[in-house]
Amino acid sequence: MIENYVAYLKYLQERLDRFFASQKEYIACKKGCAKCCKNAQFPYSLIEFKYLLQGFLTLDKETQDKVEANISKIYQDKKLFKGEKFLYDCPFLIDEACCVYDYRGIVCRSFGLITAARENKNAKIPFCAFIGLNYSNVLDDEKKKLSGEKVEKLGLKEEPLGFNIGYDFLTNKDFERGFNFSFGDKKALIDWFDKDLTQQN
Protein backbone atom coordinates (compact mmCIF):
# COMPACT_ATOMS: atom_id res chain seq x y z
CA MET A 1 0.00 0.00 0.00
CA ILE A 2 2.87 2.37 0.69
CA GLU A 3 3.75 2.23 -3.05
CA ASN A 4 0.34 3.68 -3.81
CA TYR A 5 0.93 6.46 -1.31
CA VAL A 6 4.29 7.14 -2.98
CA ALA A 7 2.48 7.35 -6.34
CA TYR A 8 0.14 9.92 -4.80
CA LEU A 9 3.13 11.85 -3.44
CA LYS A 10 4.64 11.94 -6.94
CA TYR A 11 1.37 13.25 -8.37
CA LEU A 12 1.10 15.82 -5.58
CA GLN A 13 4.70 16.93 -5.85
CA GLU A 14 4.37 17.55 -9.60
CA ARG A 15 1.35 19.74 -8.98
CA LEU A 16 3.04 21.59 -6.10
CA ASP A 17 6.14 22.20 -8.22
CA ARG A 18 3.92 23.80 -10.85
CA PHE A 19 2.13 25.90 -8.23
CA PHE A 20 5.42 27.12 -6.74
CA ALA A 21 6.81 27.87 -10.21
CA SER A 22 3.73 29.94 -11.03
CA GLN A 23 4.34 32.04 -7.90
CA LYS A 24 8.10 32.40 -8.26
CA GLU A 25 8.02 36.21 -8.04
CA TYR A 26 6.64 35.87 -4.53
CA ILE A 27 8.59 32.89 -3.23
CA ALA A 28 11.71 33.20 -1.06
CA CYS A 29 12.16 29.50 -0.18
CA LYS A 30 15.74 28.34 -0.46
CA LYS A 31 18.03 25.74 1.03
CA GLY A 32 18.94 26.75 4.56
CA CYS A 33 15.62 28.44 5.32
CA ALA A 34 14.02 26.15 7.84
CA LYS A 35 11.67 28.50 9.65
CA CYS A 36 8.66 26.41 8.66
CA CYS A 37 10.28 23.35 10.26
CA LYS A 38 10.20 25.04 13.67
CA ASN A 39 7.70 25.98 16.31
CA ALA A 40 4.76 24.07 14.85
CA GLN A 41 2.70 20.89 15.31
CA PHE A 42 3.30 19.13 11.96
CA PRO A 43 0.17 17.05 11.23
CA TYR A 44 1.06 13.57 9.99
CA SER A 45 -1.15 10.68 9.00
CA LEU A 46 -0.10 7.12 9.75
CA ILE A 47 1.04 6.40 6.20
CA GLU A 48 3.05 9.62 6.05
CA PHE A 49 4.67 8.69 9.33
CA LYS A 50 5.53 5.19 8.09
CA TYR A 51 7.13 6.62 4.99
CA LEU A 52 9.08 9.12 7.09
CA LEU A 53 10.41 6.21 9.12
CA GLN A 54 11.60 4.56 5.91
CA GLY A 55 13.62 7.74 5.39
CA PHE A 56 14.95 7.52 8.94
CA LEU A 57 16.25 4.01 8.26
CA THR A 58 18.33 5.30 5.32
CA LEU A 59 20.25 7.70 7.61
CA ASP A 60 23.71 7.04 8.98
CA LYS A 61 23.95 6.06 12.64
CA GLU A 62 25.19 9.47 13.78
CA THR A 63 22.23 11.28 12.21
CA GLN A 64 19.79 8.68 13.53
CA ASP A 65 21.19 9.27 17.02
CA LYS A 66 20.68 13.03 16.66
CA VAL A 67 17.08 12.54 15.53
CA GLU A 68 16.39 10.15 18.40
CA ALA A 69 17.88 12.60 20.89
CA ASN A 70 15.67 15.36 19.48
CA ILE A 71 12.57 13.17 19.73
CA SER A 72 13.36 12.19 23.26
CA LYS A 73 13.85 15.82 24.31
CA ILE A 74 10.65 17.00 22.61
CA TYR A 75 8.71 14.10 24.04
CA GLN A 76 9.88 14.94 27.56
CA ASP A 77 9.09 18.64 27.03
CA LYS A 78 5.62 17.67 25.85
CA LYS A 79 4.99 15.59 28.96
CA LEU A 80 5.77 18.62 31.12
CA PHE A 81 3.82 21.07 28.95
CA LYS A 82 0.71 22.47 30.60
CA GLY A 83 -0.68 24.77 27.87
CA GLU A 84 -3.16 24.01 25.09
CA LYS A 85 -1.05 23.79 21.99
CA PHE A 86 2.39 22.23 22.21
CA LEU A 87 4.74 23.55 19.52
CA TYR A 88 8.21 22.23 18.80
CA ASP A 89 11.00 22.19 16.23
CA CYS A 90 10.82 19.15 13.96
CA PRO A 91 13.17 16.43 15.25
CA PHE A 92 14.26 15.65 11.68
CA LEU A 93 15.72 19.12 11.26
CA ILE A 94 19.45 18.57 11.60
CA ASP A 95 21.88 21.45 11.09
CA GLU A 96 19.05 23.56 9.62
CA ALA A 97 18.23 20.99 6.93
CA CYS A 98 15.67 18.21 6.64
CA CYS A 99 17.51 14.89 6.95
CA VAL A 100 14.62 12.94 5.41
CA TYR A 101 13.76 15.37 2.65
CA ASP A 102 12.60 12.85 0.04
CA TYR A 103 10.41 11.17 2.65
CA ARG A 104 8.90 14.30 4.17
CA GLY A 105 5.18 14.57 4.68
CA ILE A 106 2.47 16.46 2.88
CA VAL A 107 2.40 19.57 5.04
CA CYS A 108 6.18 19.87 4.56
CA ARG A 109 5.72 19.86 0.79
CA SER A 110 2.77 22.23 0.50
CA PHE A 111 3.79 24.87 3.03
CA GLY A 112 4.79 28.25 1.65
CA LEU A 113 1.98 28.93 -0.81
CA ILE A 114 -1.26 30.76 -0.11
CA THR A 115 -4.04 28.36 0.83
CA ALA A 116 -7.20 29.32 -1.07
CA ALA A 117 -10.43 30.10 0.78
CA ARG A 118 -12.53 26.94 1.03
CA GLU A 119 -15.97 26.29 2.51
CA ASN A 120 -15.90 28.17 5.82
CA LYS A 121 -12.14 28.76 5.86
CA ASN A 122 -10.56 32.05 4.77
CA ALA A 123 -7.56 32.19 2.46
CA LYS A 124 -4.37 31.74 4.47
CA ILE A 125 -1.09 33.53 3.82
CA PRO A 126 1.96 31.57 5.10
CA PHE A 127 3.34 33.02 8.35
CA CYS A 128 6.71 33.64 6.74
CA ALA A 129 5.17 36.47 4.69
CA PHE A 130 5.15 38.43 7.94
CA ILE A 131 8.85 37.91 8.55
CA GLY A 132 10.08 39.08 5.18
CA LEU A 133 9.87 35.83 3.21
CA ASN A 134 7.22 34.40 0.84
CA TYR A 135 4.80 37.06 -0.49
CA SER A 136 6.38 39.73 1.71
CA ASN A 137 7.18 41.78 -1.42
CA VAL A 138 3.43 42.23 -1.97
CA LEU A 139 2.27 42.40 1.62
CA ASP A 140 0.60 45.47 3.06
CA ASP A 141 2.45 45.46 6.38
CA GLU A 142 -0.18 47.52 8.20
CA LYS A 143 -3.27 45.67 7.00
CA LYS A 144 -1.49 42.29 7.06
CA LYS A 145 -3.03 41.59 3.67
CA LEU A 146 -1.77 41.25 0.13
CA SER A 147 -1.52 44.58 -1.65
CA GLY A 148 -2.71 44.87 -5.27
CA GLU A 149 -0.90 48.20 -5.36
CA LYS A 150 2.43 46.56 -4.60
CA VAL A 151 1.81 43.92 -7.26
CA GLU A 152 1.20 46.72 -9.76
CA LYS A 153 4.25 48.70 -8.63
CA LEU A 154 6.45 45.67 -9.12
CA GLY A 155 5.04 45.40 -12.66
CA LEU A 156 3.89 41.82 -12.08
CA LYS A 157 1.21 40.61 -14.48
CA GLU A 158 -0.44 38.14 -12.16
CA GLU A 159 -1.65 38.75 -8.63
CA PRO A 160 -0.67 36.03 -6.15
CA LEU A 161 -2.94 33.01 -6.35
CA GLY A 162 -4.38 30.80 -3.62
CA PHE A 163 -4.34 27.02 -4.03
CA ASN A 164 -6.33 24.13 -2.60
CA ILE A 165 -3.49 22.91 -0.43
CA GLY A 166 -5.06 22.72 3.02
CA TYR A 167 -3.94 19.56 4.84
CA ASP A 168 -7.50 18.27 5.16
CA PHE A 169 -8.04 18.68 1.44
CA LEU A 170 -4.76 17.02 0.44
CA THR A 171 -5.49 14.06 2.70
CA ASN A 172 -9.11 13.56 1.75
CA LYS A 173 -10.88 10.32 0.82
CA ASP A 174 -10.96 11.08 -2.91
CA PHE A 175 -7.18 10.74 -3.02
CA GLU A 176 -7.35 7.54 -0.96
CA ARG A 177 -9.85 6.08 -3.44
CA GLY A 178 -8.05 7.41 -6.50
CA PHE A 179 -4.68 5.97 -5.48
CA ASN A 180 -5.96 3.01 -3.46
CA PHE A 181 -4.40 3.56 -0.07
CA SER A 182 -5.50 4.84 3.29
CA PHE A 183 -3.98 7.75 5.21
CA GLY A 184 -4.99 6.24 8.55
CA ASP A 185 -5.13 8.23 11.76
CA LYS A 186 -3.79 11.78 11.79
CA LYS A 187 -2.00 13.46 14.66
CA ALA A 188 0.88 15.78 15.45
CA LEU A 189 4.19 14.22 14.36
CA ILE A 190 5.57 14.02 17.91
CA ASP A 191 2.51 12.09 19.06
CA TRP A 192 3.47 9.16 16.81
CA PHE A 193 6.55 8.65 18.94
CA ASP A 194 4.85 7.09 21.90
CA LYS A 195 7.47 4.37 22.00
CA ASP A 196 11.10 3.98 21.08
CA LEU A 197 11.75 4.94 17.46
CA THR A 198 13.54 1.65 16.77
CA GLN A 199 10.41 -0.21 17.91
CA GLN A 200 8.15 1.48 15.33
CA ASN A 201 6.96 -0.51 12.34
Give least dist CB 86 to ligand SF4, A.
15
Name the strand (E) or helix (H) holding 94: strand 93-94
Specify burial of residue 175 (Cβ count, 10 A radius: 0-12, 13-18, 19+).
middle
Sort strands 114-115 and 162-163 into parallel, antiparallel or unpaired.
parallel
- Of 35 and 66, the one with the shorter C-beta distance to ligand SF4 is 35
Buried b vs exposed e over 56-79: b needs ≥16 C-beta within 10 Å? beebeeebbebbbebbeebeeeee
Q: Are 175 and 115 in contact (CB under 8 A)?
A: no
- Of 92 and 179, the one with the shorter C-beta distance to ligand SF4 is 92
- Of 7 and 53, the one with the shorter C-beta distance to ligand SF4 is 53
- Of 71 and 178, the one with the shorter C-beta distance to ligand SF4 is 71
Give least dist CB 111 to ligand SF4, A.
5
CA-CA-CA-CA torsion sign (192, 193, 198, 200): negative
Give least dist CB 122 to ligand SF4, A.
19
Give least dist CB 72 to ligand SF4, A.
16
Q: Which residues bind ligand SF4 (CB under 6 A)?
A: 28-29, 33, 35-37, 42, 90, 92-93, 98, 100, 104, 108, 111-112, 126, 128, 133-134
